[in-house]
Amino acid sequence: MRYLHTMLRVGDLDKSIGFYTELLGMTLLRKRDFPDGKFTLAFLGYGSEKENTVLELTHNWDTDSYELGDAYGHIAIGVEDVYATCEEIRSKGGKVVREPGPMMHGTTVLAFVEDPDGYKIELLSADF
């Protein structure tokens, strides 16, 4: 068995793809429209789907936004320098919702950013 992907429903696919590629450095691996079902799937990641877990963005053409619910937590991404990554994201118009610093009751440096749909992404120092 292997963990393949995590799926998020998004309201504006182009805006979301821009966030994950331009601000978080992912690559758009593939994108496909399903006209009969009125939805599009886009897969993004940091490498080939054969070797890496990726992110699937699902855009239902007739839905502009979603209620996130209270069960969702976050996606975690390891980065070399949490402080520098947050500054780069902020300089590109991204939203940092928890400033970089040590985690509560620990020493791991982390921060949280928010994507265009309000999903939280945790940035963890590479020595996580």
Question: Would you call 122 a catalytic residue per the annotation?
Answer: yes
- Among the residues of 19-105, which ranges form H helices? 82-91
Instruction: Answer yes or no: CATH 3.10.180.10 is held by domain 5-60.
Output: yes
128: confidence class by pLDDT, cuts 50, 70, 90 = low
For the stretch 87-94, contacts whose Cβ atoms lie closer than 8 Å and that sit 24 or more positions apart, written own/partner, are 88/23, 89/23, 89/24, 89/113, 92/22, 92/23, 93/23, 94/19, 94/23
Q: What CATH code would you report for 75-125?
A: 3.10.180.10
Percent of the chain with pLDDT over 90: 85
Q: What is the pTM of this model?
A: 0.89
6 band by pLDDT with thresholds 50, 70 and 90: very high
Read off the amino acid at residue 77: I
Q: Do domains 5-60 and 75-125 have the same CATH topology?
A: yes
Exactly one of 22, 56, 114, 122 is catalytic; which is it? 122
Q: Residue ranges per domain, the chain?
A: 5-60, 75-125
